[in-house]
Amino acid sequence: MSRGPEIAVLARAPVPGRAKTRLIPALGAHGAAALQERLTEHAVAAACAAGLGPVTLWAAPDPAHASFRELVTRFSIRLARQAEGDLGARMLAAFAKSRGATLLIGSDCPALAADHLRRAATALTDHEVVLIPAEDGGYVLIGLRRPHAGLFADMVWGTDTVLAETRRRIARLGLSAHELDPLWDVDRPEDLARLPREAFGAFAD
């Protein structure tokens, strides 16, 4: 019997020059890719440590990348290829492939821990949507009991309006929602100084 919702982790392969491109000026192409790999490992480890339902790593563009295979072996998780389309289409597809309530996270939030996932799972038992906002105006986690295409279609992703627009859509759809406290993610060079040194010391300023 499942101990809680499934967890979907969306991540990109740590390919130099294609991963964490906004951090390349600070870290170089190989350094930015190495940070992407470390962040993905952190997200998967947190998902597994939460002790909830099955964990699936949704990989792009190539699930065969060695770093993904290593995580699958080490953590005994599922591996799947992300769908085509924008971020909303890929997120919706991950929810649609799940078998019930699901928490979806990315790999940009080193502050996300297993306890956040457990609290989100608890909130999802009483609400149809759960969010962990990001300080930059997006969100680092969205949990749904079932897919709602209206939350993802025609969204301008990567902007500081994503959270506000998502809240409007939740209200328009008449869904009950709960938000946990905001967390920060790593998108820009100035974010590197906030990385916890015990886990990300090689990348922190």
* Short-list 128, 140, 129, CA closest to 184: 140
**CATH number assigned to the domain covering 6-192:** 3.90.550.10
Output the pLDDT for position 198: 77
**Average of per-residue pLDDT across 131-139:** 97
Q: Residue 1: what pLDDT?
A: 43
CA–CA distance, 27 with 32 (Å, rounded to integer) = 5
Q: Are strands 102-105 and 177-179 parallel, antiparallel or unpaired?
A: unpaired
Q: What rounded mean pLDDT belongs to the chain?
A: 95
Domains of the chain, residue spans: 6-192
Q: How confident is the model at residue 204 (pLDDT cuts 50, 70, 90)?
A: low
Tell me: the pLDDT tens digits for 62-76? 999 999 999 999 999
Q: What pTM did the predictor assign?
A: 0.95
**Span 9-46, pLDDT tens digits:** 999 999 999 999 999 999 999 999 999 999 999 999 99
Given a cut of 90, is residue 202 above it in pLDDT? Answer: no
Beta bridge partners of 105: 9, 141
The predicted-structure confidence for 87-115, as pLDDT tens digits, reads as follows 999 999 999 999 999 999 999 999 999 99
**119 φ, ψ (degrees, to nearest 5):** -65, -40
Q: pLDDT, tens digit, for every residue of 170-186?
A: 999 999 999 999 999 99
Across-strand partners of 57? 9, 79
**Statement: residue 2 has pLDDT above 90:** no
Instruction: Give the pLDDT confidence of 115-130 residue by residue, as tens digits.
Output: 999 999 999 999 999 9
What is the Cα–Cα distance from 149 to 162, expressed in whole angstroms?
Answer: 15
